[in-house]
Structure 1
Amino acid sequence: AQFAEPAQAVAALLKHLKAQRREEVGELLRASMEDYAPSDVPLEDFFQRGRYECEAARAADVPPWVLDALSRGQLPPFVCDALVLRSTFLRVQVENMQRPSAHSAALPLRQVIYGLLLGAPRNTGAAAPGQPSCELPVVCEYDRLQKTLKKNYVPAASLPLDFCDDHFSLDTLAEVPVLRRQTLLLETLGMKASFLESVPSHLQLPVAVTCHWIRCSEPQVQLHQLKALLLTMVSGELQRGTADLDPAALPAEDDSAADNEFLKWTEKKPQKEDFDVDAAHGFCQWQCCLQMGLYLNQLLCAPLPEPDLSSRLYSGTLVHRLHQELQSAPAVENLSSLSPKLTQLYQVLLNTVES
């Protein structure tokens, strides 16, 4: 509806409320309108042209390709915070507060991101006797220590010798050959490209992130956690309609049976005593690793395909239900009676992360 002035819009809104609430809500709305100051940001630029540029970003001496990616939403605010402010805020999830922050598992990934953004010197080994070592750039991270906000100064990682020459800078990162960018991404995640050859392309990054999670998680990842996570990824293939392992669509009967089984696990009511806070902490760590793996992939101009970040890749409800089921009924992971193709995909993922 179109209104000539704000007062008409407020009056029209109040008609939908109960009579006894109209006066109170009307006063709150009018008070809020008096406090509101319209932004001078021309948001129509973003919605009409798919990008928005602000003066502050241009004044920050950000490389043009980074500025363009930020304006299009192709790079996260985390990158801008680290690059311009040299400060980042790590959000807390539903974690075990007695353990170190879930973000600790992704620290090596963040350090490589900082190294790329801030131009950390190359890793040439130990400095020669009598020569000063190069100081690494530092980023201030706001994280938690138990239930308290804590400030940590994190040094950037040195870039490997075979990634770039002596004159590398963020300005030319997009010009680095894609194979080198992919190698840096996979080496940071502790994965070799050859191990991912049998994995569908849209799952290669999540699988590589999972390998990093297994290596860096504290406490150690349990097998039930890993299997529950991989089964959740497999369940997402039902939503895609086809699996990369076979260009043909899943047979309707297989699709329906498997989908119903995953739906049954999702809707199963948990018992209060079934909640495993350490398992939840582990899955939080995986999400932190996935987040930084995605950011690193985006900063490297996507040498690996971006995964689908909807519930097709991860569902907290489903992964916790599967984790509980696997502890009491290990046969849950046997999908062969439901869908041979999903069983094959699950085995490919499991073999890859266990290799």
Structure 2
Amino acid sequence: CALFGLLSWREGAWPPSFKVEKTGLIIDGNALYYSLYYTSDPKLDQRCGGDYPGFKHEVCKFFKTLQDCEVNPYVILDGGSGPEKHEHNVSPLKYKLKKAKTIAETEPDGTLPEAYNVLPPLVKDVFIEILREKGIEFKVCLGEADPEVVSEANQKQCAVLSIDKDFYIFDVHKGFLNLDNFEWKKEEDGKIPARIYTRSKFCEHFKLDPALMPVFASIAGNDYSRLEDNGAFAKESSSPGEYSIKRLDGMLGFLSKVNLDGLNNSQKREHALSEALNHVGKKENQTFKLAIKKYVKPEKTSSKLPPWVCEKVERGELTTFVTSVVDWKTMMLTPLVEDFSQHSSYTAAYRIRQYFYGLLTGGEITEYGRDGEEIKDYRVPSILPSSDEQKQLKLQCLNEVLRLIIKYAPEHSRRRVFEEALQVQTSENIPDQLKLPVCVTVFWFKKLQHHPKPETVNCLHALLLWFVCEPDGPEDEFERKMKALKDEVVRNWQPRVAHAFSQWQCCMRQSLHLNQLLCSPLPEPQCARLAGWQTEHTEGVRVEDVNNATLTQRHTGLKYTEGVIKELETEGEHSWEEQPKDKEQKSRKTDDRGSRVGSSPCNRKVAGSNPGLDSLGRCVLGQDTSPTAYSF
């Protein structure tokens, strides 16, 4: 950032060297997983669905280094953001959309502009999974993490590790370590080279009263405010740097000269803000005062959610999206790297989100997401479970918020709601770790059949290869098989293939969150193994590959369920049956909520009284639904 550039230019202002060892450390979790994913060497995939095993390897190496240096980490992650940041959230979505489109349209060996990065959709879920698996202490906030990071750091007398420029402004007693200078890969003798920044040293160098740091932040520009000064402050700077550095240097020089004699800290801030606004011909503005308050008295976010739900969010057992939906009735759909000639990948999971909203509010939700090459908002009606399931879940409306008593409902009732949302029926024949992924895959594959393309079956086969490669087995063995598959096939990235897997990941993530909301009626799979390698070896994947993989799996003694293969392969075969248009139109029907159910393979099987479907025409997983299903 420009402030970092200013520190590097001013002699004596650069934070001093520091060796990190034998200490506690408060870590900004969001900043960490962004940094680890974007700065990994070799670079982790962003174009083809993400490299989650590679990301997990990087995260584990990071925490192993901390352990070797006897550094005790406490990770704090962001939750949702309040209404005051709403318009500021839409603007970054537009910028992320631009970055995602650029990445999608750049050749694999092409050069991207600096800082053009887009996270794959499951990174945060994978990160939390790793923290839990490794026993790293962490907390997920209901709102922004900054207030809790500062509070914990000062209470435990620890430094803060982040890349957020706000920590230059907060009074963190033991200092701020910027991730850009935290050289954990150069650890030596149990010590990590870093640079430590303290607000007191900064103010001493620039001759600024510490009470004015929040004023400096509010006019310099942050998530809430920015003073448009038309170059007035930059003209007063002697800095040889670029405009942004001159502007900050000029502001600091101006604030250091404001007369503060006889004023308390609150009066100092009010007077300095007034002077700065007058200097550039601006009137008093409540926006700046609110921004200043964020630094002076940072407040932890509260929620309308019941306490037990808030506790699940804080433990990472429930997505933070619930706070945005219940408290602000909004959902931000972060842009993804996908085929921009098609509808947003999030469209594939639309029905799942409707059930998610129905359980939480029962009303309309405003979604912000991609429409073509723009970010637009649109109203999404929620879907409530069928009346019998509602009664079983004992949902009660209090104060216009759906109070969740889901945790007291029987597991079979919660599972039925999940099955109803995805229009599937699970089977005990499916291994626990595959129950949810298989449900998602059938739901996703049926959605793709509305607009069938040749690569659809290739995508399915790639997923089948993952299913038969025993994700419950030893991790090294799993990764060895995945690497062998990558080495055998042509790596020819295709936008339509990447888009199909982007749709699958959207369905997977939303299904994970729906399952969490229902208190996990289906076992949660390991996200780190769910995706990330598939799109790289979809081209050329054949049914024979699936057969061979299954035979290999038999020879090595790995336990597996044939029902998964049979059900999904049957879907694949039927998806390419020729169907006259008039027959397809007749097969369409409307469910009891008025939403259209398309002519999917499952719908077509209903007419043939296929035993693999229930009375509602939903796929019954794990059953041999066709005499033509492959035998393994």
State the TM-score, normalized to the length of structure 1: 0.69
Alignment of 1:280-295 (within 5 A): 280-295=498-513
Question: What SS does the corresponding residue of 2:16 show, helix, strand or coil?
Answer: helix
Q: 1:115 to 1:72 in 2, by over 3 A?
A: same
Matched, 1:331 2:544: yes
CA contact under 8 A between 2:430 and 2:561: conserved in structure 1?
A: no
In the other structure, the counterpart of 2:405 is 172
In the other structure, the counterpart of 2:15 is 10
Alignment of 1:155-234 (within 5 A): 155-165=381-391, 168-169=395-396, 170-193=403-426, 196-217=427-448, 219-220=451-452, 222-234=456-468
Q: 1:38 to 1:113 in 2, by over 3 A?
A: farther
Aligned-residue offset at 1:150: 1.2
Aligned-residue offset at 1:176: 1.8
Amino acid at match of 1:220: P
Work out which of the residue numbers 527, 534, 539 in structure 2 matches 1:309: 527
In the other structure, the counterpart of 2:359 is 116
Matched, 1:345 2:557: no
1:280 and 1:33 mapped to 2: Cα distance?
36
Kindly provide the CA deviation profile for residues 91-113 of structure 1, in whole angstroms up to 9, marking residues without a partner as x: 22211111110000101100001
In the other structure, the counterpart of 2:372 is 146
Aligned-residue offset at 1:62: 1.4
Q: 1:260 to 1:241 in 2, by over 3 A?
A: closer
Q: 1:68 to 1:231 in 2, by over 3 A?
A: same
Q: 1:33 to 1:290 in 2, by over 3 A?
A: closer
Aligned-residue offset at 1:75: 1.1
In the other structure, the counterpart of 2:262 is none
In the other structure, the counterpart of 1:263 is 483
CA contact under 8 A between 1:326 and 1:332: conserved in structure 2?
A: yes
CA contact under 8 A between 1:335 and 1:343: conserved in structure 2?
A: no
Aligned-residue offset at 1:8: 11
Aligned-residue offset at 1:214: 1.3
Q: 1:97 to 1:8 in 2, by over 3 A?
A: closer
Kindly provide the CA deviation profile for residues 95-140 of structure 1, in whole angstroms up to 9, marking residues without a partner as x: 111111000010110000101001x2xxxxxxxxxxxxxxxx1101
Question: What is the root-mean-square deviation in Å for CA atoms of aligned residues?
Answer: 3.1
Work out which of the two has the higher radius of gyration on C-alpha atoms and give 1 or 2.
2
Alignment of 1:63-78 (within 5 A): 63-78=306-321
Aligned-residue offset at 1:39: 7.5
Q: 1:56 to 1:207 in 2, by over 3 A?
A: same
Aligned-residue offset at 1:178: 1.4
Alignment of 1:64-143 (within 5 A): 64-118=307-361, 120=362, 137-143=363-369
Q: 1:148 to 1:56 in 2, by over 3 A?
A: same
Kindly provide the CA deviation profile for residues 233-269 of structure 1, in whole angstroms up to 9, marking residues without a partner as x: 33352x6239xxxxxxxxxxxx96x865532222468
Kindly provide the CA deviation profile for residues 32-74 of structure 1, in whole angstroms up to 9, marking residues without a partner as x: 699421479xxxxxxxxxxxxx8532xx321122111112121
Aligned-residue offset at 1:337: 4.9
2:564 and 2:539 mapped to 1: Cα distance?
20
Question: What SS does the corresponding residue of 2:539 show, helix, strand or coil?
Answer: helix
Q: 1:202 to 1:260 in 2, by over 3 A?
A: closer
CA contact under 8 A between 1:90 and 1:142: conserved in structure 2?
A: yes
Amino acid at match of 1:174: K
State the TM-score, normalized to the length of structure 2: 0.40
Kindly provide the CA deviation profile for residues 208-244 of structure 1, in whole angstroms up to 9, marking residues without a partner as x: 011111122364372221111121233352x6239xx
Kindly provide the CA deviation profile for residues 311-350 of structure 1, in whole angstroms up to 9, marking residues without a partner as x: x222x23x124311315xx532222552216887374322
CA contact under 8 A between 1:214 and 1:220: conserved in structure 2?
A: no
CA contact under 8 A between 1:164 and 1:176: conserved in structure 2?
A: no
1:164 and 1:149 mapped to 2: Cα distance?
34
2:383 and 2:429 mapped to 1: Cα distance?
31
Unpaired runs of at least 5, structure 1: 1-6, 15-31, 41-53, 121-136, 243-254
Question: What SS does the corresponding residue of 1:152 show, helix, strand or coil?
Answer: strand
CA contact under 8 A between 1:228 and 1:322: conserved in structure 2?
A: yes
Identify the structure with the greater helix proportion: 1
**Identity percentage of aligned residues:** 26
Question: What SS does the corresponding residue of 2:335 show, helix, strand or coil?
Answer: coil
Work out which of the residue numbers 170, 174, 180 in structure 2 matches 1:37: 170
Q: 1:81 to 1:39 in 2, by over 3 A?
A: farther
CA contact under 8 A between 2:325 and 2:331: conserved in structure 1?
A: yes
Question: What SS does the corresponding residue of 1:345 show, helix, strand or coil?
Answer: coil
How many residues align structurally? 277
CA contact under 8 A between 2:304 and 2:326: conserved in structure 1?
A: no
In the other structure, the counterpart of 1:25 is none
Matched, 1:56 2:301: yes
Aligned-residue offset at 1:283: 0.4
Question: What SS does the corresponding residue of 1:165 show, helix, strand or coil?
Answer: helix
